[in-house]
Amino acid sequence: MIEDKPMPDEMPINDAAVESATVAESIVESPAVLKADQSIQLLVELVKNVNHLLCEFYQDYQQNQVLQISNKADKSPVTEADMAAHHLIEQGLKKINPLIPVLSEESSDYKLRFDWHEFWLVDPLDGTREFINQTGEFTVNIALIHHGVVQLAIIGIPTLKRIYLTRKNQPLYRIDEAGDSLLWQEIQPKPVNLSSWQIAISRRSEWKVYQQFKQVLHDRQQTFDCKNAGSAYKFCLMLEGEIDVYPRFHPTSEWDTAAGQGLLEAIGGGVYDLQGRPFAYNQRHDLLNGHFMAVRQNDFLPSALQVAQETLKALT
């Protein structure tokens, strides 16, 4: 059991950040206010720099320069680009607030997290396989977690020079590079059409469970189209209304979903277990997620959960 310790009302930050408030505690009422928050400016600049760093590695790799690739204990690949992004993010977040710890996929030790009630949850390069396979569908995922709940979420898409950002209970923004400037645009939820679903299927869609999921949709006479995409790039397509429902039946970790969950919640959706409960973070001894259903609008959730449950029942 993780001991629940009270958080201080205020956590001091260094000179580079806003005084007398953590990133999660600021109240945002408009894009102008959000952009004026110096800690947000630093965070956006950090993700922009990581986007650029990863693009440099990616472009070199596309031009047949050697990319150092190794395998972790779980046999998943890690590259020198993953590690470079990890170090840059870790350093940047410590400059924003040295008192908020960082839990990254590439961290060397996860054990200290059991004493943390506020921390950054990071995947410095989500979609390493997509990077290696040169699909362009890889992202930078950062979420600020407070007592298990996503308070701030940001995802960068290096190949598009794009960033998505939100705070809890605040609007969602898309930030695009335009020369030396950043263009901020609030994203409004797209209309919902429950009669026809756009579904995200990973590139492991040949797995039997995903074939069964589609069969259940056919049996229920639910019209749908499938879109293959990798990494948290799928969450970004959901933010743009291109995907409605994203079922996931093979393993992910908490750093894969936290930022995407925070962004989806800003437009009325979320990431849920198959009992319909929103994901919570750093609440278990295992950092692996179970099966989940992500929806861009919660109107899709009841039917999507029924389909998932019928899918798993048919395979038992």
> Which domains does the chain possess?
23-187 (3.30.540.10), 196-314 (3.40.190.80)
- Checking phi first, is residue 224 left (phi over 0); if not, alpha (psi -120 to 50) or beta? beta
pLDDT beyond 70 at 224? yes
Annotated binding site for Mg(2+): 105, 123, 125-126, 256
Tell me the one-letter amino acid at 86.
H
Pairing of strands 270-272, 245-248: unpaired
- Provide the pLDDT for residue 3: 36
Buried/exposed 137-172: b ≥16 CB within 10 Å, e otherwise: bbbbbbbbbbeebbbbbbbbbbbebbbbbbbeebbb
Query: How far apart are the C-alpha atoms of 186 and 47, rounded to whole Å?
Result: 18
Annotated binding site for substrate: 105, 125-128, 256
- Provide the pLDDT for residue 102: 96
How long is the chain? 316
Collapse the DSSP code of 60 into the 3-class scheme (helix H, G, I; strand E, B; otherwise coil) and give the result: helix
Q: What are the tens digits of pLDDT across the range 284-307?
A: 999 999 999 999 999 999 999 999
Annotated binding site: 105, 123, 125-128, 256
- Provide the pLDDT for residue 31: 72
- Provide the pLDDT for residue 204: 62
Q: What are the tens digits of pLDDT across the range 171-208?
A: 999 999 999 999 999 999 999 999 999 999 876 667 89
Query: How far apart are the C-alpha atoms of 239 and 266, rounded to whole Å?
Result: 9
Residue 250, Cα to own-chain centre: how many angstroms? 17
- Provide the pLDDT for residue 89: 98
**Residue 95 neighbours by CB under 8 Å, 6+ apart:** 14, 16, 17, 42
- Provide the pLDDT for residue 108: 73
| pLDDT average, residue stretch 229-235 | 94
Q: What are the tens digits of pLDDT across the range 270-285?
A: 999 999 999 999 999 9
- Provide the pLDDT for residue 74: 85
Query: How far apart are the C-alpha atoms of 104 and 91, rounded to whole Å?
Result: 12
